[in-house]
Amino acid sequence: MTSDALRDIAYRLPWRSSSVRNGTHRSRMTGGGGVFKDLAPLINQPDPRRLALRASLADPFETLKVKRLEQSTAISVYVLVDVSASMAFRGETNKIEIAADLSEAISICASRAGDDFGLIAFDLTLRPETFLSRTRSRSAHRDAVAKLRSLNPTNAGVTGISEAAAMLVGPRKLVFLISDFLWSDDELKYSFADLAAHDVIPIEIDDSRQIDKLPDWGLLRLYDIETSTRRLVAMRPKLKEEWRRRRNARRASLHARCAEAGRDAFQIKDRIDWDRLSSYLMYGYAA
Amino acid sequence: MIFTSPLWLFALPLALLPLVFGAQQEQAYPSLSEFETDPLSGTIDWALRMAGITAIAGLILGNAGIAWSEQSIERIGEGAHIVLLIDRSSSMDNNFAGQQTSGGEESKSAAARRLLKDFVAKREHDRFGVAAFSTSPMVVLPLTDHKSILFAAIDAMDRPGLAFTDVGRGLALAMKMQAQDPSHASRAVVLVSDGAAVIGRRLQDSLRTEFARQRTSLYWLFLRTAGTKGIFDVPASGEEDTPQVLPERHLNKFFQSLRIPYKAFEAENPEAVAAAIEEISKLERMPIAYNEKVPRRDLSRWAYAIAAAGLFILLLAKLFERGIGPNGGRYGAT
């Protein structure tokens, strides 16, 4: 994808960071400038420049009060990309391509907001060649995204997410989890448990060729790229409906897990709807 | 089971290939684990593999030239081996009145022919042979159960006959035909004639030996012409009683002296002939076992037909194959 099509996105945190570095996000820290936070006695906060005249006069005990201001801070943004074999499926889109586009947009957005950006690809284990620890270097971001774009998913399994979670030590981070989420319920449960300390934004990449655009009638010999099993399927409307039902059941369990973790999953079907994505990132839900 | 070019059989293990490979293009799909296996799809998969195996095996067996080898089947029937020994002397072409046939009259040979054909048609399990004799005997048809050939052989009696009636050599030939058949069936010779002749002393002895050896029943269907001497006529006293004068009477006496199941029928008209034949068919009801040779049968056309059926099924499956990629395009496995 060229950068022309790459839209500007923004994200907002529904929580306050306790990071000490200056940035653009609301925090629990007080500092030199920004939004009013609270009042404190001058004894505790000996900064007479911020003396709150009205509050001091109104205080029956005649204590001198000082305004405390909220220090906006920077956070770390990580993108975790599932590159297990199932992500190699090419229907309407190339899922890895979509994941790379998203990562690129997020990296630009993060550096514009002054946040660190890190990228971790995982399958059965971590994929060390695309590993990018949090950094503000734009060129490092670009390299990591380029490596992700050229990555060829071959290994099955998603257990590498625990290793990825172990890399995200320290204060709370914003974590984009990009996957097709064709995971078992256990895998979902343990993955979200591993990432519980962070703000996880699950982004599901779906393809209409997986269910919606399957032929109604016909013989399909399908090869499961995740498990390497082969199966002949005599597709008919009844069976297709059954498949759709199962897929929806799995999606429902994904949404249940996401709701437990705090954020609903964002679904990308065939192409990225940047406006919907921005709206989702700003307000927590997609219109 | 034989093969005309058995080297092809080395290729037969190729028939197992459909167990390993499917006939359809494999298409990558992200995850099937969440979908249960569908019984109908499984059945179709299995059936297509079987069709593939049959198609390959059929083609190979067809090329190998599969065939049933020549076989002989033992069959068991009820009936007998009957040699029809038919008089072809010219007198048989006369009617029962001893005159040339004219108009709608039936000659003796025509009546005998018609009735014998009925007889043959009724006796489904018998094997028949046909021999004819006049001046000298000849084999018309060895023992067989092919009725159409028999009918043709009996029809051949129609040809105009010759002058003399050599019963003795005719009988000897009939016995020889019976002797050629090694089975344990009951045997019978049906002698159809309108006269008799003297059998020489030497031939009498040899016939006596033959009949004693083979235990053959003998039926004599005597088509008596009106006014001639019959089999059972006893000459009046004073009349000469020699084979030369009364050959029928003496031939009958000779047959009776053979000590075999023997019966003589004297028929003076077609109805009497029919009654006699009816009686013969009642008498000859014994189970017989006989071998029938079945020639080698080429099965390769069947092998090809089965292969074609398998290929047809595979072709149908191919026509119903669909892709899941854009525009029905297909993707490889990786």
Question: Is residue B329 very low, low, confident or very high in pLDDT (cuts 50, 70, 90)?
Answer: very low
Q: Quick check: B331 contacting A, CB < 8 Å?
A: yes
Nearest CA in chain A to B46: A232
Is the same domain home to B247 and B103? yes
Question: Is residue B77 very low, low, confident or very high in pLDDT (cuts 50, 70, 90)?
Answer: low
pLDDT at B58 (0 to 100): 94
CATH number, domain of B210, equals 3.40.50.410
Question: Is residue B78 very low, low, confident or very high in pLDDT (cuts 50, 70, 90)?
Answer: low
Question: What is this model's ipTM?
Answer: 0.78
Could you report the per-residue pLDDT of B310-320, keeping only the tens digit for each? 999 999 999 98
Q: Quick check: A54 contacting B, CB < 8 Å?
A: no
* Chain A neighbors of B35, CB-CB under 8 A: 242-243, 246
* Chain A neighbors of B34, CB-CB under 8 A: 182, 246-247, 250
In order of A230, B58, B316, the CA distances from B21 in angstroms are 10, 18, 17
Q: How far is B37 from chain A (nearest CA, A)?
A: 8
Could you report the per-residue pLDDT of A187-246, keeping only the tens digit for each? 899 999 999 999 999 999 998 888 888 888 888 888 888 888 888 999 999 999 999 999
- Which residues on neighbouring strands pair with residue B215, listed in sequence order? none
Could you report the per-residue pLDDT of B157-211, keeping only the tens digit for each? 777 666 677 788 888 888 888 888 776 667 888 888 877 777 888 888 888 888 8
Structure tokens at A63: 């204590």
pLDDT at B44 (0 to 100): 93
Q: How far is B123 from chain A (nearest CA, A)?
A: 59
Residue A112 has pLDDT above 70, yes or no: yes
DSSP string, A115-177: -EEEEEEESSSB-GGG-EEEE--HHHHHHHHHHHHT--------THHHHHHHH--SS--EEEE
Range of the domain at B315: 2-70+295-328
The torsion of the CA quartet A101, A106, A108, A109, rounded to 10 degrees, works out to 140
Is the same domain home to B161 and B59? no
Q: Quick check: B33 contacting A, CB < 8 Å?
A: yes
Residue B328 has pLDDT above 80, yes or no: no
Q: What is the mean pLDDT of residues A85-105?
A: 90
* Chain B neighbors of A210, CB-CB under 8 A: 29-30
Is the same domain home to B21 and B93? no
Could you report the per-residue pLDDT of A258-281, keeping only the tens digit for each? 888 888 899 998 888 888 898 898
Is the same domain home to B226 and B179? yes
Q: Quick check: B164 contacting A, CB < 8 Å?
A: no
Number of Cβ atoms within 10 Å of the Cβ of A170? 10
Q: Do strands B66-68 and A230-235 pair parallel, antiparallel, or not at all (unpaired)?
A: unpaired
Lowest-confidence segment of A7-16, A70-79, B232-241 by average pLDDT: B232-241
Residue B331 has pLDDT above 50, yes or no: no
Q: Which of A107-121, B76-90, B184-198 is the most confident on average?
A: A107-121
Nearest CA in chain A to B328: A215
Residue B333 has pLDDT above 70, yes or no: no
For chain A, domain boundaries: 30-70, 76-283
Cβ neighbourhood burial of B155 (10 Å; 0-12, 13-18, 19+): exposed
Q: Cα separation of B55 and A129, whole Å?
A: 50
pLDDT at B72 (0 to 100): 82
* Chain B neighbors of A222, CB-CB under 8 A: 26-29, 32, 324
Could you report the per-residue pLDDT of B94-131, keeping only the tens digit for each? 777 767 766 666 777 787 888 888 888 877 777 888 88
Question: Is residue A282 very low, low, confident or very high in pLDDT (cuts 50, 70, 90)?
Answer: confident
Domain assignment of residue B333, yes or no: no
Average of per-residue pLDDT values in chain B: 81
Is residue B16 helix, strand or coil? helix
Please give the tally of structural domains in chain B.
2
Is the same domain home to B154 and B23? no
pLDDT at A22 (0 to 100): 85
Identity of the residue in B27, B321, B325 whose CB atom sits nearest the CB atom of A223: B27
Domain assignment of residue B33, yes or no: yes
Optimal mutation site among A181, A217, A220, A228, interface B, most CBs of chain B within 10 A: A220
Domain assignment of residue B206, yes or no: yes
Domain assignment of residue B113, yes or no: yes
Could you report the per-residue pLDDT of A115-127, keeping only the tens digit for each? 999 999 999 999 9
Domain assignment of residue B334, yes or no: no
- Higher-confidence residue of B42 and B284: namely B42
pLDDT at A6 (0 to 100): 63
pLDDT at A118 (0 to 100): 95
Lowest-confidence segment of A105-109, B234-238, B292-296 by average pLDDT: B234-238
pTM passes above 0.80: no
A86: nearest Cα among A247, A224, A202, A209: A224
Question: What does the DSSP 8-state code read for residue B25?
Answer: P
* Chain A neighbors of B333, CB-CB under 8 A: 223, 225
Is the same domain home to B151 and B220? yes
* Chain B neighbors of A157, CB-CB under 8 A: none
Contact A232 B29 (CB under 8 A): no
| SS3 assignment for B117-158 | HHHHHHCCCCEEEEEEECCCEEEEEEEECCHHHHHHHHHHHH
Residue A37 has pLDDT above 90, yes or no: no
Could you report the per-residue pLDDT of A130-152, keeping only the tens digit for each? 899 999 999 999 999 999 999 98
> Does CATH number 3.10.129.10 belong to domain A76-283?
no
Q: Quick check: B233 contacting A, CB < 8 Å?
A: no
Q: What is the mean pLDDT of residues B40-63?
A: 93
In order of A169, A192, A195, the CA distances from A189 in angstroms are 20, 5, 10
Question: Which residues 167-196 of A have a C-beta within 8 angstroms of B?
Answer: 180, 182, 184
Domain assignment of residue B239, yes or no: yes
* Chain A neighbors of B40, CB-CB under 8 A: 234
Q: Cα separation of B83 and B143, whole Å?
A: 7
B131: nearest Cα among B171, B80, B94: B171
* Chain A neighbors of B331, CB-CB under 8 A: 90
Q: Cα separation of B144 and B81, whole Å?
A: 9
Domain assignment of residue B277, yes or no: yes
Is the same domain home to B162 and B26? no
Question: What does the DSSP 8-state code read for residue A45?
Answer: S
pLDDT at B161 (0 to 100): 66
Structure tokens at B222: 């005597």
Rg (CA), chain B: 34
Q: How far is B30 from chain A (nearest CA, A)?
A: 4
Nearest CA in chain A to B40: A234
Q: Which residues of B200-234 are buried (b: 16+ CB within 10 A; e: fewer)?
A: eeebeeebeebbeeeebbbbbbbbbbeeebebeee
- Higher-confidence residue of A76 and B287: namely A76
Q: Cα separation of B193 and A172, whole Å?
A: 126
Q: Quick check: A284 contacting B, CB < 8 Å?
A: no
Domain assignment of residue B96, yes or no: yes
Optimal mutation site among A86, A225, A270, interface B, most CBs of chain B within 10 A: A225
Structure tokens at A162: 């625990």
- φ and ψ at A205, to 5 degrees? -100, 115
Q: Quick check: A43 contacting B, CB < 8 Å?
A: no
